[in-house]
Chain A
């Protein structure tokens, strides 16, 4: 397929309005295979303006007289308006954008063509391999081993090649386990809490079905997990569905662990919203944020009705519960919902952030996202196909990853010194998860990424983010390593709307940006002038 077939018109004269603060831009508009360009002309002082077409979430066209207006709503929640000369040109450009922004093929997407200066292909793909973490755990505990059973993705298509399982369970048993779990997602280690020796596990639901089937190998695997932690250790199975929903899942072949079959394990239900209701909540919140004229009462009732903060609260408290089981109770915790690729990952990744100081560093957090979201098979391609503005009938979209980022932001607000990264990194991850020139968030699983040769043919987001020039935006200048667990408050008086994301393009950003810059100034001033005396173990950033 050629892009040129989809491009109906080459260029047109246009005026671009970029929101209330930025001045309008005039120039020649041009549609290419992956971008929308606006060139202000050779004599103009401002640079070329560029928009990745995949970033467009919805497009709206209006014509009047001999000109037209196109409103582009982007996946990063930005709204752009293009005033274009000529009715034909407007319609053609709109159709081209529509067609190009909704291409579904992965290998023709922009990351496969993006070749930035200063980065070498394949450079950063070894940045945060989960194997490294798994090997360390295996070495330290002696109760766990790295298995190659999924080397060809035959056991579980959504798991990576490397999985970590109890040493006592052999690969044949794993194969039988995989058949007993939905999508083959048998229980694997997610996090090893070194101080207490206990582990956090994740999986998908067991396929007990209406006959209440059992699987000896699966039971053995969980028993081995307990035995590996400490003789007589208890375990909690944290089901992210309600007890009723779990029971109902039996009709369709799913279900939940029977009490009698798993001695030592105790089941808890903490229902988390997923799928369509979560997406709807996101859509309604964004809608509410876009209305600048509404009265105070309407704003508050909209904020209430969209329920977004309720999801934040639920996610954080469930993660606290999991973290509490592992960190405080000395128990093993297995988290799963149905497929084990959404709310499960939300809970396990947040729990690690609460418990583990190393995951709160810049590198550690990137590693966490890579291991617990990308490699763990969160279907980014499906969940992030559309953002809050799309009129298309939703299929698999859900802002689970955004919910995770919001929870991290809340943690950062409550512990402003304990995260090495700042809001900038979270915003960047949100943007790139939905549309990106980098290959990191492409596809829905490691298997698909291998098929598309993502690793060899695209650049990694991590190498893009870890360039020195990006650091000032992404890092938290006030970071001081904190060896303790960070237990957040989940009272509503404490939780807040993430204005930096939801109102990013609506309110003027200057004051907060200027303040951020000032903090940087104060900190770096100190660092450079303080010379040797300020360098110490507690301040590694020099």
Chain B
């Protein structure tokens, strides 16, 4: 609280960045310990969680006041105009302090209290049980076993305590392999395909240096391939771009020649662009630091596959460019598409998807086990493993299963959520939208397979909201060890039970649950299947969205159908009961008659009509990341039913569009 100098400023204007009329909402701005709150003259509330704030900017003073622009991590951008510069300055400074916390203990999750007692809290944390999940996959079994090597986080600090490895891999082999792999992240099981008896494993890059090889690592890989009784061949997927690999080949073949080769390449080959040279040099530096690639000669029964997913820095600046382009209003066609192209964002999404498809195919078609790694094995590796499993196993396409998937491949295997999402005031170079990309890939899949997912887009958006909100403990910290040290299970709440309680909002009405467990998805990654995800990157820009929501209507109809079916069954059984008791037909008729006037059918149909017109947001209060009454989809219905958008006058000569 010591950062807050002004708690309330009146007569503040809120501008809409996509509205062409220069109309604004006037209202009062409040600053609380956790939220920034704006209440306009219609009493509509806009809540912004401090942790969601990515950037605060104070622009040059204008005649109407001092502009304050706030960019949020959930892609909301608000533009306030504060009448007095002093107030603006105070708010600006407070927000600077409040949005960047130095300690975990100052994050919202540690003060957030949804009024649950300790046992409810504990139950919430036990909702997702990974041991249960491995059992569901079919491990441990005759080939795979639970290893206790990392029980005390002695071998790898960023892995979970419980790891599954091939049964024939002994502890010395594991220890040896872990010393050979970056950060000790040795190959472990991520997903086991019960039908094919093939496995997805994950690890980090080998520290092979210029000449080294590691027998234990080679043994462990052999063990993985032997754990697959059907196909002895396995794939090692390196998810990094190929050009690095090529430079590695250059180094590996003949160390004596590499310097000549690389330098001659750099200096003589005009075709190589400067960026490539840098990458080559980087790779050299990597190798000198003892990081690199497995030497193919040392590993038998292994096929190496390279898929080019760029690193976190490329992804960060790509998203930055994307947002810059799309933040402008009145874009021309060429601005929009050349911006989309030069940002490279969709190209990166396609690369991740292609990698996951390769992985799924290797298992489905060739029956081969696959080992996935990138550099540290917590960014690209998590993306590829989780997406691959999602393609293979329909369980992960359910609401509960998707939670399990995130919990397994992202949280437990040490995707550095706190650093990647910038939860604390830290190194901005560690921030990267890796998880956002994963969600976007899933969204693209839901677009291609509208019937195969139990959840809808709102579910993905809600999860995205909460990886940044710091309201729940799930995504705090960078690995399990750190989370245990923070005592998150005692001090904070888990997100999942809240989402599950609310699951009605996240259901996909078109979902057909009948598909078999191993119904594999085969997405088509031809370029035109990738679209700009407007509902993510413009989720708060209401004028850009469809004005009517199909989703609510279908959902309501679906509900109603189910209710009606139930009613019919109830009535039928009642009739049967009566008939059994009294064989008098007239009485039965009377019963039917008396039921009719207040039959539930009538009630549901009335409900249906109200719901389509009114926002259904009351239930959101406890869970919404940044605010209780957030303006999302459901409000379009309201907006629409109210009236047409604001009027703009058709001035002489200059006619402006309303929307």
CB neighbours (8 Å) of B333 from chain A are 304, 307, 309-310, 313, 492
Cβ distance A531 to chain B, nearest Cβ, rounded Å = 7
CB neighbours (8 Å) of A80 from chain B are none
Find out whether the CB atom of A296 lies under 8 angstroms from the CB atom of B336. Answer: no
Find out whether the CB atom of A310 lies under 8 angstroms from the CB atom of B332. Answer: yes
Q: A519-B554, A522-B554 are in contact. Are A493 and B548 (CB under 8 A)?
A: no
- Per-position 1/0 for B412-431, Cβ under 8 A of A: 00000000000000000000
Set B512, B547, B553, B652: member contacting A486, Cβ < 8 A: B547
Partner-binding segment picked from A34-42, A322-330, A359-367, A450-458: A322-330
- In chain A, residues 298-330, which have Cβ atoms closer than 8 Å to a Cβ of chain B? 298-301, 303-304, 307, 309-310, 313, 317, 320-321, 324-325, 328-329
Cβ distance A74 to chain B, nearest Cβ, rounded Å = 20
Partner-binding segment picked from A182-190, A194-202, A425-433, A494-502: A494-502
Alpha-carbon distance A299/B338, docked complex (angstroms): 11
Partner-binding segment picked from B179-187, B238-246, B391-399, B522-530: B522-530
Find out whether the CB atom of A493 lies under 8 angstroms from the CB atom of B451. Answer: no
Question: Nearest residue in A to B332 (C-beta to C-beta)?
Answer: A310
Q: A304-B337, A489-B659 are in contact. Are A519 and B347 (CB under 8 A)?
A: no
Q: Does any Cβ of A come within 8 Å of B330's Cβ? A: yes
- Per-position 1/0 for B255-298, Cβ under 8 A of A: 00000000000000000000000000000000000000000000
- In chain B, residues 552-603, which have Cβ atoms closer than 8 Å to a Cβ of chain A? 553-554, 557-558, 560-561, 564-565, 568, 599, 601-602
Q: Does any Cβ of B come within 8 Å of A22's Cβ? A: no
Find out whether the CB atom of B337 lies under 8 angstroms from the CB atom of A301. Answer: yes
Set A236, A295, A519: member contacting B650, Cβ < 8 A: A236
Q: Does any Cβ of B come within 8 Å of A278's Cβ? A: no
Among A236, A268, A324, A490, residue most surrounded by chain B Cβ atoms (within 10 Å): A324
Find out whether the CB atom of A522 lies under 8 angstroms from the CB atom of B509. Answer: yes
Set A298, A413, A511: member contacting B451, Cβ < 8 A: A511
Q: Give the bracket for the number of chain A residues in contact with chain B.
A: 35 or more
CB neighbours (8 Å) of A508 from chain B are 524
Find out whether the CB atom of A533 lies under 8 angstroms from the CB atom of B337. Answer: no
Cβ distance B526 to chain A, nearest Cβ, rounded Å = 5
Set B338, B341, B529, B657: member contacting A490, Cβ < 8 A: B657
CB neighbours (8 Å) of B341 from chain A are 296-297, 300-301, 304
- Per-position 1/0 for B478-510, Cβ under 8 A of A: 000000000000000000000000000000011
Alpha-carbon distance A468/B650, docked complex (angstroms): 45
CB neighbours (8 Å) of A328 from chain B are 647, 650, 658
Alpha-carbon distance A331/B649, docked complex (angstroms): 12
- In chain B, residues 626-659, which have Cβ atoms closer than 8 Å to a Cβ of chain A? 640, 643-645, 647-650, 652-653, 655, 657-659
Find out whether the CB atom of A522 lies under 8 angstroms from the CB atom of B557. Answer: yes
Alpha-carbon distance A268/B653, docked complex (angstroms): 6
CB neighbours (8 Å) of A296 from chain B are 341, 346-347, 350, 527, 530
Find out whether the CB atom of B658 lies under 8 angstroms from the CB atom of A324. Answer: yes
Find out whether the CB atom of A507 lies under 8 angstroms from the CB atom of B529. Answer: yes
Q: Does any Cβ of B come within 8 Å of A503's Cβ? A: yes
- In chain A, residues 485-539, which have Cβ atoms closer than 8 Å to a Cβ of chain B? 485-494, 496-497, 499, 503, 507-508, 511-512, 514-515, 518-519, 522-523, 525-526, 529-531, 533-534, 536, 538
Q: Does any Cβ of A come within 8 Å of B11's Cβ? A: no
Find out whether the CB atom of A488 lies under 8 angstroms from the CB atom of B659. Answer: yes
CB neighbours (8 Å) of A499 from chain B are 528
CB neighbours (8 Å) of A496 from chain B are 531
Q: Does any Cβ of A come within 8 Å of B304's Cβ? A: no
Cβ distance A160 to chain B, nearest Cβ, rounded Å = 31
Q: Does any Cβ of A come within 8 Å of B142's Cβ? A: no
Cβ distance A486 to chain B, nearest Cβ, rounded Å = 7
Set A309, A317, A518, A531: member contacting B510, Cβ < 8 A: A518
CB neighbours (8 Å) of A530 from chain B are 560, 564, 601, 605
Find out whether the CB atom of B657 lies under 8 angstroms from the CB atom of A317. Answer: yes
Partner-binding segment picked from A130-138, A398-406, A415-423: A415-423
Partner-binding segment picked from B84-92, B461-469, B538-546: B538-546
Q: Does any Cβ of A come within 8 Å of B550's Cβ? A: yes
Set A413, A490, A518: member contacting B659, Cβ < 8 A: A490
CB neighbours (8 Å) of A529 from chain B are 561, 564-565, 568
Find out whether the CB atom of A533 lies under 8 angstroms from the CB atom of B548. Answer: no
Find out whether the CB atom of B524 lies under 8 angstroms from the CB atom of A324. Answer: no
Question: Nearest residue in A to B567 (C-beta to C-beta)?
Answer: A529
CB neighbours (8 Å) of B512 from chain A are 518
Find out whether the CB atom of B544 lies under 8 angstroms from the CB atom of A491. Answer: yes
- Per-position 1/0 for B339-373, Cβ under 8 A of A: 01100101100100000000000000000000000
Set A297, A484, A497, A533: member contacting B601, Cβ < 8 A: A533
Alpha-carbon distance A45/B148, docked complex (angstroms): 62
CB neighbours (8 Å) of A494 from chain B are 534, 544-545
Find out whether the CB atom of A511 lies under 8 angstroms from the CB atom of B601. Answer: no
CB neighbours (8 Å) of B601 from chain A are 530-531, 533-534
Find out whether the CB atom of A493 lies under 8 angstroms from the CB atom of B527. Answer: no
Set B543, B554, B560, B645: member contacting A491, Cβ < 8 A: B543
CB neighbours (8 Å) of A525 from chain B are 557, 561
Find out whether the CB atom of A493 lies under 8 angstroms from the CB atom of B532. Answer: yes
Find out whether the CB atom of B526 lies under 8 angstroms from the CB atom of A507. Answer: yes
The 9 closest A-B pairs by CB, nearest first: A304-B337, A299-B527, A300-B341, A310-B333, A492-B336, A296-B347, A515-B450, A417-B548, A533-B602
A-B contact pairs, 20 of them (CB 8 A): A296-B346, A296-B527, A297-B344, A297-B347, A301-B338, A304-B333, A307-B333, A329-B650, A414-B548, A484-B640, A484-B643, A492-B331, A493-B326, A493-B336, A493-B544, A494-B545, A508-B524, A511-B450, A514-B451, A522-B554
